[in-house]
Chain A
């Protein structure tokens, strides 16, 4: 097991597995969020379940936070090591566009934008939620006799073109990140066979559809509350 902890392949696999875990989380997050467009009642019920269920709050949430932090920290460590590996003098001309996609070469940029977005997203939703539940001790999920989740979500985007714009921008960078990252994770864990082409098509579709779906939700709540 010594090698698996210290080696470049282990780091690569760790990045892949944490990335795949976050992709699963994205799919779950999207599934709940899209109900805010279709059925506010369903959104309220599912949000309340996720926000108060002991397994979700005490087990899955810490794992998720660890996964996010691990993915970012490991990403920065790998970037540092990779830049060092080029040597003290870099190329005067490096035609990366001749042999690879912009998305694959700039995961750091898309990752940093997503990290900044997470700061805003936590400020908007996660910190108020934690404050209400665990500092003020209100686990009811109610406000003025009704579930508060839908109203709180809508309130963030209604009449706020700047916040809506920032969310949409972040989702565009999420597309960039996933376009390379999702399919790349399978290659990292050693999955490259006759099914890889079909898998790549699926990962690319996911990389575009899910972030666009998130952007649609933000724009929907902004437009319907003008």
Chain B
């Protein structure tokens, strides 16, 4: 398969970026998108050129590291997958593929296609946890009965891998799907109820400080999320936040 790649190149956070065009040959349909980029970089290194920097780690769809905007969609045209799970059979011989970094003020570009998503870490650190005494008297989590429906909803929310596709897909660069998933996974469990008010207040506060946009309920985040995180989580976060604000 022969392809034309238009890839965003940017030296560092402060440099002015630009698109560069690469023609690549010998791409197999069974290759993943990241393997295709490996082939490109192998060629660039052999030619003595700077390889294209891109994020990747597990390459099995669970680490949330690979963050590429491919032909205008985060993680490419398929649904419920990350970029590493996108296969080249999805494209046709002769196609032109435009590859850009996720773009948001809160996700500054580090280099080429790599963005700094530590804003998500700071939101998580602001309250996305349960305070448990680990001094030797830790109670087994399974000793607390939890109704199945709530446990399932909590687990569904917890499957968010923090890849940032929600921010990338949102026309407002809003991080509400991510934040709401992290709020929900604890709010739905009895262990998380104790700190529920503080958690939602602190996490939303941090989300706003990071400079993400406002949610306008377009639903793009839910569609593009590789883990199918539901908009129900945003509604839940809104309820939690409103009740916590009034009680504050």
Contact = CB atoms under 8 A, between A and B. Distances in A.
B204 interface: yes
A1 B246 contact: yes
A124 B71 CA distance: 48
Given A85-B104, A85-B106, A3 B218 contact: no
B217 to A, nearest CB: 4
Interface string B17-34: 101000000000000000
A84 to B, nearest CB: 7
Nearest to B10: A89
B239 interface: yes
Nearest to B219: A100
Contacts of B239: 190
Given A3-B201, A9-B237, A13-B238, A86 B223 contact: no
A192 B72 contact: no
A82 B172 contact: yes
Interface stretch (B48-56, B59-67, B132-140, B206-214): B206-214
B217 A9 contact: no
B217 A187 contact: yes
A38 interface: no
Given A86-B213, A184-B216, A192-B232, A3 B245 contact: yes
Interface stretch (A41-49, A50-58, A101-109, A149-157): A101-109
Interface residues of B, number: 53
B105 interface: yes
A100 B220 contact: yes
B155 to A, nearest CB: 18
A86 B103 contact: yes
B80 interface: no
Contacts of A95: 71-73
B204 A3 contact: yes
Contact of B214 (A81, A93, A180, A191): A81
Contacts of A89: 17, 103
A4 interface: yes
A188 interface: yes
A193 B233 CA distance: 11
B36 interface: no
Contact of B242 (A87, A93, A190, A193): A190
Interface string B169-183: 101111010000000
B184 to A, nearest CB: 12
A7 interface: yes
Contacts of B6: 92
Given A85-B214, A95-B71, 17 more contacts: A1-B248, A3-B241, A4-B245, A6-B208, A7-B241, A9-B238, A81-B213, A87-B107, A90-B103, A92-B6, A95-B72, A99-B73, A100-B219, A100-B220, A187-B234, A190-B235, A190-B236
12 contacts: A3-B205, A4-B245, A7-B205, A8-B212, A85-B211, A90-B103, A91-B72, A99-B169, A100-B219, A100-B223, A104-B219, A107-B216
